Structures are given as structure tokens and as C-alpha cells.
Amino acid sequence: MGKPIRFAKMQGAGNDYIYVNTIEFPLDSPEELAIKWSASHTGIGADGLVLIGISNIADFSMRIFNADGSEALMCGNASRCIGKYVYEKGLTTKKEVTLETLSGIKKLQLQIEDGKVSTVTVDMGEPAVKGKDVEVESGGKHYKGTIVSVGNPHYVIFTDDIMQVDLPKVGPGIEHHPLFPDRTNVEFVQVLNENEVRMRVWERGSGITQACGTGACATLVAGVINGKTARKAIVHMDGGPLTIEWPSDTSPVFMTGGAVTVFEGSIEA
């Protein structure tokens, strides 16, 4: 019998993770537990496991393990959920929280209504455009996309009809393409107007997910670079919308959206 671990399952725009406060419940093998607990039929079911911990350089730290056990550098949706978790659990009274991640310190601005966190704005840092009109092949088709890093790698492809994309077929091939030795996240984007786009995502290490916060940020950056969107736009994903803003080429990207606690419980490690 293992020790019982308290957890919260939370989601931001449908991007759902299992959250554990490791200050209270330290975990020895998060890679293995991410695989075990993320399983939908035999575990809790999630896109991965998020660990909330102490930090010497920020208010809290965050580590993210995908459903396949690989460790992610950053997740915007998870960051928002952590903001809600630490405030509503009484771990902080701050409305501006700093979070140490593998891609640097992120700043969270919490919007509070009736003692609850309604939305969170995350300073995602400055993006890095690695390439434009970069061609790759997957599933027998050739694609041109924009490579953007928002603390983790993204390949953004614009398409006229997003529903015609066979994401399970082409996603794995692009994720593991030789052009991306560390693999990449993949976004297919349909522009609705300069202030709204529709995006579907294949996440590195997790496959198809309902949403991706860093992917939404990479989508807007690619939209601006390619002259397809304004600097502030709503990114609609399967799990819901996020508002993304990139004020200038030398500024951080800001992401605003909600965070929801689905349920809480305990499970054996």
C-alpha cells in the first residue's frame, strides 16, 4: 500500500492536469506517476501531472510532466491553474504571483471576485521566432509553418479549413520530424478575422489536447509575423477561448483566461 496523495484536477480551456502540492506531498517518481495517473481508464485521466513546489527565486515553482512521462518546459494553462490553486488554498494572499518554471520566472496577475480567482493573466515572456515559411513533410503532405519558441517549441501552420486537417495522422510526423531534434508542439490555425482565430493543437508528449496556452501565444505571434492577425486576438480552441496580446516585437506575450477546479481527491503513489 502506498501513501495517499491529495490532488486537484484542474483545467484551463479544457487543458486538464493533475495538481499536487509537493510542499505537503513530495513525490519520488513523477515521471512514472504522470503516466499512471494520466490514464483515462485506470488512473485519474489528464493531459499530465503538475507539481507545485517551493522556490528560492520566486513565490512558487512548477514542474510539468506530460501524459507520456516526459517533462515540459512550460504550460500557460497550467500556470493559470496554479495561480488559482495557491490563492484559493490560502498558500498566498498575493494578487501578483511569481512562478519558477524551466523556461524562466513567469508573472501571474490574479483577478479576484468574491474571494475566488475568476481569471489569470500570465506574462509569458518574450517569444523567439526561429523561422518563417519552414517546410516539413508528414503523412504524405508538405506543410509550411512558422517556428516560434514561447519557452517551448511550436510549429504554427495556417490553413483555410481547420476541420479538414487529419491531426492524428499528421501530428506525430511533425512532432518527431528531424527538423525538431527535441520534438515540437504543432498548431493548425484558421484565421476568422484579424481579432479571432480557430486553433487545434498536437502537443509534444501528449498528442491531441483541448487547448495549449503556449500554443495560443505562438499562434498569435505567428499571426502577427505573417500579417494575419492584430496584436491582440482571441484564440478559440476545442476547450475554449484565450485572449492573447503581444504589444510589440520586443515585449512579452500576455495570456488571459479562466481556470477551473474539476474535482479533488486522494490517490496512492
Residue 87, exposed/middle/buried by CB under 10 A (0-12, 13-18, 19+)?
Answer: buried
160-195 CB burial, b ≥16 within 10 A, e <16: eebeebebeebbbbbbebeebeebbbbbbbbbeeee
- At 230 the three-state DSSP class reads coil
| Nearest by Cα to 215 from 63, 77, 67 | 77
**In contact, 216 and 244? CB cutoff 8 Å:** yes
- Residues known to be catalytic: 75, 212
